[in-house]
Structure 1
Amino acid sequence: MDRWTGRVALVTGASVGIGAAIAKELVRFGMKVVGCARDVDKIKNLAAECQSASYAGVLIPFKCDLTNVEEIQSMFSAIKEEHNGVDVCINNAGLAHPEPLLSGKTSGWKNMLDVNILALSICTREAYQSMKERNIDDGHIINLNSMCGHRIIPNADIHFYTGTKYAVTALTEGLRQELREAKTHIRATVRLRCCPCGF
């Protein structure tokens, strides 16, 4: 972790759960962490906790609705202006709605697509461009995924969600191939977490 001291990480969905835990650990190891979420007050509380613990890094709360492309792009512009750019991008944000394939609401499906697939892809693109324009060749893009991205559970409520997580699996492999073709040492990694049904 020493080589990441003082460098900038973006963690999406940093207000609660896994995202908050990741942000806290990176700050503990000395990184500047931009933690984004719609509920920025929780990240402010976490930032104060990190400061009180005298962690080596700093947590920078940023309010961003990941379903809004303009807000994502504004966030990356602000990171560039205030912190030069992103060296590590952790696409943690994700959500699930109990919307079956045969009776689910389109609005629920769209929300899952917007956060689980589009926001992840936009953040990935913007992070890569940030690294490329600064000649950062050792950056890292990490996609948090679910076991639902690798198997289909017999539970109608999560079948659409499962589809979005299979997409994350495919997108991460596609990203790995594109980075290899670009002859860069920027890495793409997928990390698994439990899906909403507990598997």
Structure 2
Amino acid sequence: MTREETLSTQQQAIAPIAAFAAAGDLPRLDDALNLGLDAGLAIGEIKEMLVQLYAYAGFPRSLNALGQLMKVTDARRDRGIHDATGSDPRRAIPQGDALLAAGTANQTKLAGAPVSGPLFDFAPAIDTFLKTHLFGDIFERDNLDWKSRELATVGALAALSGVGSQLQAHIRISLNVGLSTSQLHQMAEVLQQRGDASAAARLRTALEK
């Protein structure tokens, strides 16, 4: 495969972090966090992935994963390892109607078309929350690029059972933000190698569909 068809070392580290965080597997998350930091991921980048995780796996898993990141970074600092800190978001987050407009635009760009359907007509509140909060508040934060956000999202969803349609949707979004099918297959290989055979199998099944 060419360089453009493969994930960078840093990108390869993202999916295992997200998968083990979503699954609540803190011992393997500990290893994945250390490998990610060794690969050059900044603390702020990992922190942002784990904050975003709550939208897909819930606050408990996100909070536990962030607590584990704190322990890992403290231990590394005590050993004299100086990891890059990363940056906070630089762009101001819109408010009110401007946030809804920004979130709707982000969702449309990510999905490749405006998102609508009977489910959102049935429960319009969830449509508003998706547009204003997930695709607005979160995706407007510019301290993590969209490719990295989607690698983290696909990794997290692959670790969860019963979310196949959402996993397939985010595979399509991953392609829309510039990732390739070869890179997504490589992600499955990485998950397999890191010991999450179930997540790897779910990702491969979703890719086949």
TM range (shorter): 0.3 to 0.5
When you count strand as a share of all residues, which structure comes out higher? Answer: 1
Q: Tell me the TM-score normalized by structure 2.
A: 0.40
Q: Tell me the TM-score normalized by structure 1.
A: 0.42
Highest RCO, 1 vs 2 (Cα 8 Å, sep ≥ 6): 2
